[in-house]
Amino acid sequence: MVEKIRNYYLTFKGEKGIYGKSHFNRDLYYIKVCKSPFPKLIVQYSIHAREYITSLLSLNQIEHFIKFGKKGTVYFLPLTNPDGVDICEKYNPLYKANGRGVDLNVNFPAKWGLGKTNQINCGAENFIGEYPLSELESKALCDFTLKVKPNATVSYHSKGEEIYWHFMQSGKRKEKDYRLAKLLAKSTGYALKETPYSCGGYKDWCIETLKIPSFTIEVGSDNLTHPIKEEHLQSIFEKNKWVINILTEKL
């Protein structure tokens, strides 16, 4: 998977760049597709290693938005956790963490360390790290997000066919985010869910600190096993191919 994403990046003819390095010194890539200056969207994939089916989804979504996108600027980050994906493919198919054994999606400064399943020792999943943004990958994603100043973000995970959209926002912000979440749910057929016992995620940080809509989308039926096989990619893409368009057109 790491090689597939690298090859796609190298052959991509549009605007692209490297926004950071992983623990094992792998490049962290972004692909930029611009239809108009507003709105700006960051979509990131495979922050959890065993969920690397989403990296393949990213390539389909990039091509789809190039062809059918009407407005907006989208930064696609196809492989947020390359070290973890490499470990998952070679040694441990259920591995979620990065190369240091830190779960990147509980390493953000948003009620950090207060999640119900958080762990304080390194391992394959749920270790929060020594402090918020302790990891090169999460710090790079945070810094890149602050630089881009997106109007919304999407994080692709697997599995369960659910959309998480809420992290203690209230009032008009909650109403706006819920309206967008319902549009995504209608398009994908996925259920809207809340995760009151989960903290420290990228989505959580975007909502709490940047005050923007942020969504975690879990692709693939819960009946499937990790890591989801490539044979399910087309059906996953069919359910998610309009997500980027909806957000760029409705924000």
Q: Which pLDDT score is estimated for 200?
A: 95
Q: Which pLDDT score is estimated for 102?
A: 98
Rg (CA), the chain: 16
User: Does 75 have pLDDT greater than 90?
Assistant: yes
Q: Which pLDDT score is estimated for 146?
A: 98
Q: What average pLDDT score do residues 23-51 get?
A: 98
User: Does 162 have pLDDT greater than 90?
Assistant: yes
Q: Which pLDDT score is estimated for 117?
A: 87
Q: What beta strand segments (E) does the chain contain?
A: 16-21, 27-34, 40-45, 73-77, 152-158, 162-164, 191-193, 214-219
Residue 244 token pair: 């980027």
Q: Where do the domains of the chain lie?
A: 2-250
The model's confidence at residue 145, banded by pLDDT at 50, 70 and 90, is very high
3-state secondary structure of 248: helix
Q: Which pLDDT score is estimated for 196?
A: 82
Q: Which pLDDT score is estimated for 197?
A: 81
Residue 152 pairs with which residues in a beta bridge? Answer: 41
Gap between the Cα atoms of 49 and 142, Å rounded: 18
CA-to-CA dists, residue 117 to 114, 126, 131, 172, 240, angstroms: 9, 7, 17, 30, 28
Residue 33 pairs with which residues in a beta bridge? Answer: 74
Task: Name the CATH superfamily, with its identifier, for domain 2-250.
Answer: Zn peptidases (3.40.630.10)
**pLDDT tens-digit map of 182-228:** 999 999 999 999 888 889 999 999 999 999 999 999 999 999 999 99
DSSP state of 241: T
Asked whether the whole model's pTM tops 0.85, one would answer: yes
Amino acid (1-letter code) at residue 169: Q
